[in-house]
Amino acid sequence: MIEHLQKTGGYTSSGLTLNEKNELEALRRDIQKYREMETKEQEKRGDGEHTDSEDDEIMDDHEVKQLEVDIRKKSVMGARSGVSAEVYGKYNDKGDFKPKVIPKSDEQIQRIKLKILQSFLFENLEGKEIDIVINAMDEKTFLPGDTIITQGEKGDVLYIIESGELDCFKTFKDSEPRLVKQYFPGDSFGELALLYNAPRAATVVAKTKCILWSLDRETFNNIVKEASMKKRKQYEAFLKSVDILSGVDAYELGQICDAMKTCNYNDGDYVIKEVCYFI
């Protein structure tokens, strides 16, 4: 899939565009050609004899590597500036975050915690962070036919489903709304609007009576997203210490980090177990 996306988007595995890669390779060939020419000139004049102007025209290995870094930086900034400007813009500015607290009963807290643990969005949260998210959540009840979010509107909350079923409709160009997904207890929706300050991508309608828990943008960005970034940095630091991954570049290392999950074991638990087959 990565190879397909790179080919479709015109990028190489190192993160450079195809044009930038070709440019870098052409530059290397030119440098090599000039070095060969310089060697021949030195052989004619005698070893070790050269002019200062020739040194200015020839790039050494360090300068070539630095040029490659500069081109790579230009590629990353050019490809991602549209997203980063939104993600880290004013809508995601931390500022002085003050956790919201909406009073809840012990029974409500246990119900929310049960659903949070089922959602991939919150899998990187630790105990204190989970408590902050639970305190900030607000209970919402919808009846069959109620519209929870509408495609194209601005969104500032995400929802986690405690009970009930919902239908997700998307309207494409010159077409009627089309059912594209169904949501069930434990599912979540609406997070894209919080991450990218984008309009709602679809309309979600209650199919049955539903109980949802909403979470605001500020809490999501300061707790949920922050926890994911923190965990990613921990994974990166660990993976860089693994010898077999020493040759993996930053982009590929990030892909591995995103695929990793933490597993906890008690003393004496089997991590892997050999299976023998007897005939």
Q: How far apart are CA 133 and CA 164, in angstroms?
A: 22
Domain boundaries, given as residue ranges, for the chain: 2-87, 106-218
What string of DSSP letters covers the chain?
-HHHHHHHHTB-TTS-BHHHHHHHHHHHHHHHHHHHHHHHHHHHH-TT---HHHHHHS--HHHHHHHHHHHHHHHHHHHHHHHHHHHTSGGG--SS---------HHHHHHHHHHHTT-GGGTT--HHHHHHHHHH-EEEEE-TT-EEE-TTS---EEEEEEES-EEEEEPPTTS--EEEEEE-TT-EE-HHHHHH-PPPSSEEEESS-EEEEEEEHHHIIIIIIHHHHHHHHHHHHHHHT-GGGTT--HHHHHHHHHH-------TT--SS-------
Give the model confidence (pLDDT) of 18-35 as tens digits: 666 666 666 666 666 656
Are 74 and 16 in contact, with CB atoms under 8 Å apart?
Answer: no
Give pLDDT, residue 268: 93
Question: How would residue 13 be classed by pLDDT, with cut points 50, 70 and 90?
Answer: low
Give the model confidence (pLDDT) of 187-226 as tens digits: 888 887 877 778 888 899 999 999 999 999 888 888 887 7
Which position has the token pair 């991602």? 80
Residues facing 11 on adjacent strands = 17
106-218 maps to which CATH number? 2.60.120.10
Lowest mean pLDDT of 166-175, 196-205, 250-259, 266-275, name the range: 250-259
Mean pLDDT of 169-177: 86
Higher pLDDT, 134 or 2: 134
- CA nearest 91: which of 201, 194, 220? 194
Question: How would residue 166 be classed by pLDDT, with cut points 50, 70 and 90?
Answer: very high
Give pLDDT, residue 56: 38
**Which residues have a Cβ under 8 Å from the Cβ of 139 and sit 6 or more positions away?**
104, 108, 211, 212, 213
What six digits make up the tokens of 167?
Answer: 């239908």
Are 253 and 236 in contact, with CB atoms under 8 Å apart?
Answer: yes
Q: Which of 57-66, 91-100, 113-122 has the highest mean pLDDT?
A: 113-122
